[in-house]
Structure 1
Amino acid sequence: MAETIYLRGEGGGIHAMDLPLPEPIEERLRKGMLQRINADGTPYVEPPAGPEEGAERRTGGSQVPGPGQQVTGPPLTEPAKNASKTDWVGWAVVNGADAEEADGMTKADLIEKYSTPSP
Structure 2
Amino acid sequence: MSDDSGYFRGAGGVVWEMKLPLSGDMAEQLVKGYLTRVNADGTDYVEPDAEGDTEPEQPPAANASKAMWVGYAHRVHGVRIDDAEALTKNDLMELYGSKG
For Structure 1 versus Structure 2, the TM-score category normalised by the shorter chain is: 0.7 to 0.9
Q: Is the 8 A contact 1:2 1:18 kept in 2?
A: no
**What's the CA shift for 1:89?**
0.9
User: Of the candidates 58, 63, 75, which is equivalent to residue 82 of structure 1?
Assistant: 63
TM-score for the superposition, normalised by structure 2 = 0.82
1:100 is paired with a residue whose SS is helix
Aligned equivalents of 2:65, 2:18: Cα separation in 1: 25
Q: TM-score, normalised by structure 1?
A: 0.70
Which consecutive segments of 4 or more residues in structure 1 shift more than 4 A? none
Give aligned pairs, total: 92
Structure 1 unaligned residues grouped into runs of 5+? 50-75
- Higher helix share goes to which structure? 2
Which residue of 2 is the match for residue 36 of structure 1?
Answer: 37
Gaps in structure 2 of 5+ consecutive residues: 51-56
**Percent identity of the aligned residues?**
47
Structure number with higher relative contact order (C-alpha < 8 Å, ≥ 6 residues apart) = 2
| Whole-angstrom distance in 1 between the partners of 2:9 and 2:40 | 10
RMSD: 1.7
